[in-house]
Structure 1
Amino acid sequence: MDLELSVREKELAAKGRDFCDQVLVPLELIADEHGEVPMERRAAIRQAVRDWGLAGINHSKENGGLGLTMVEQTVIEEQLGRVTNGLWSCVWRPPVSLKFGTAAQKRDYLQPSCHGERRGCFAITEPNAGSDPRQVETTAVRKGDRWLLNGEKWFVTSYNASDFIIVHAHVDNDPNKPTLFLVDKPAKGMTHLRSPKFMHNFAFDHAELRFENVEVPADRMLGDVGQGLELTKDWFVEARLQIASHALGAAIRAAEIANDYATNRVQFGKPIRDFQAIEFMLADMAVEIFAAKSMLYRVAWEIDRKIDRKLIHGRASALKLFCSEMAGRVIDKALQILGGRGYMRESPLERLYRDIRVDRIWEGTSEIQRLVVAGQIRKRGFDVYSGWE
Structure 2
Amino acid sequence: MFELSGDHETFRKVVRDFAERELAPHIAQWDRDRHLPVETVHAMGDLGLFGVNVPEQYGGSAGDFTSLCVAIEEIGRVDQSIGATLEAAVGLGINPILAYGTEEQKEQWLPDLVAGRALAGFGLTEPEAGSDAGATKTRATLADGMWIINGAKAFITNSGTPITSLVTVTARTGDDEISTIIVPSGTTGFTVEPAYEKLGWHISDTHGLSFADCRVPEENLLGRRGNGFRQFLAILDEGRIAISALAVGLAQGCLDLSVKYANERHTFGAPLGSRQSVAFALSDLAVSVEAARLLTYKAAWLKDAGRPAAQIKQAASMAKLYSSDAAMNATRTATQVFGGNGFMEEFPVARFYRDAKILEIGEGTNEVQRMLIARGLGLPVA
Give TM-score, length-normalised by structure 2: 0.93
Offset of 1:169 from its aligned partner? 0.3
CA–CA separation in structure 2 for the residues paired with 1:5 and 1:171: 43
Specify the alignment match of 1:207 in structure 2: 207
Distance 1:274 1:47, change over 3 A: same
Specify the alignment match of 2:29 in structure 1: 30
Offset of 1:193 from its aligned partner? 2.9
Secondary structure of the equivalent of 2:232?
A: helix
CA–CA separation in structure 2 for the residues paired with 1:194 and 1:359: 23
CA–CA separation in structure 1 for the residues paired with 2:337 and 2:116: 41
Specify the alignment match of 1:51 in structure 2: 46
Q: Which amino acid aligns with 2:48?
A: G
CA–CA separation in structure 1 for the residues paired with 2:191 and 2:72: 33
Asked whether 1:113 is paired with 2:113, we answer: yes
Q: Which amino acid aligns with 1:286?
A: A
Please tell me whether the aligned partners of residues 237 and 316 of structure 1 are also in contact (alpha carbons under 8 angstroms).
yes
Offset of 1:4 from its aligned partner? 3.5
Q: Which amino acid aligns with 1:358?
A: I
Specify the alignment match of 1:189 in structure 2: 189
Specify the alignment match of 2:225 in structure 1: 225
Offset of 1:89 from its aligned partner? 4.3
Please tell me whether the aligned partners of residues 262 and 273 of structure 1 are also in contact (alpha carbons under 8 angstroms).
yes
What are the Cα deviations for residues 141-184 of structure 1, in whole angstroms up to 9, with x where unaligned?
Answer: 11021111000111111112212110110113x2x311000001
Root-mean-square deviation (CA, aligned residues, Å) is 1.7
CA–CA separation in structure 2 for the residues paired with 1:4 and 1:129: 39
Please tell me whether the aligned partners of residues 121 and 156 of structure 1 are also in contact (alpha carbons under 8 angstroms).
yes
Distance 1:204 1:276, change over 3 A: closer
Q: Which amino acid aligns with 1:25?
A: A
What are the Cα deviations for residues 190-232 of structure 1, in whole angstroms up to 9, with x where unaligned?
Answer: 2233222010143332111211111110000001111111211
Specify the alignment match of 1:130 in structure 2: 130
CA–CA separation in structure 1 for the residues paired with 2:81 and 2:13: 20
Specify the alignment match of 1:317 in structure 2: 317
Offset of 1:240 from its aligned partner? 1.1
CA–CA separation in structure 2 for the residues paired with 1:204 and 1:277: 36
Secondary structure of the equivalent of 2:142?
A: strand
Specify the alignment match of 1:9 in structure 2: 8
Secondary structure of the equivalent of 2:11?
A: helix
Specify the alignment match of 1:377 in structure 2: 377
Mapping of residues 1-389 of structure 1, within 5 Å: 1=1, 3-37=2-36, 41-42=37-38, 44-89=39-84, 91=86, 92-93=89-90, 94-99=93-98, 100-161=100-161, 162-172=164-174, 174=175, 176-378=176-378
Offset of 1:117 from its aligned partner? 3.0
Please tell me whether the aligned partners of residues 360 and 366 of structure 1 are also in contact (alpha carbons under 8 angstroms).
yes
What are the Cα deviations for residues 240-278 of structure 1, in whole angstroms up to 9, with x where unaligned?
Answer: 111111111111111111111112221122112222211
Bigger mean CA offset, 128-137 vs 265-274: 265-274
Q: Which amino acid aligns with 2:45?
A: R
Give TM-score, length-normalised by structure 1: 0.92
Offset of 1:116 from its aligned partner? 2.3
What are the Cα deviations for residues 347-375 of structure 1, in whole angstroms up to 9, with x where unaligned?
Answer: 11000110111010111000000110001
Specify the alignment match of 1:383 in structure 2: none
Structure 2: gaps (5+ residues): none
Distance 1:223 1:49, change over 3 A: same
Bigger mean CA offset, 57-66 vs 77-86: 57-66
CA–CA separation in structure 2 for the residues paired with 1:333 and 1:67: 39
Q: Percent identity?
A: 30
Secondary structure of the equivalent of 1:262?
A: helix
Structure 1: gaps (5+ residues): 381-389
Secondary structure of the equivalent of 2:140?
A: strand
Please tell me whether the aligned partners of residues 89 and 203 of structure 1 are also in contact (alpha carbons under 8 angstroms).
no
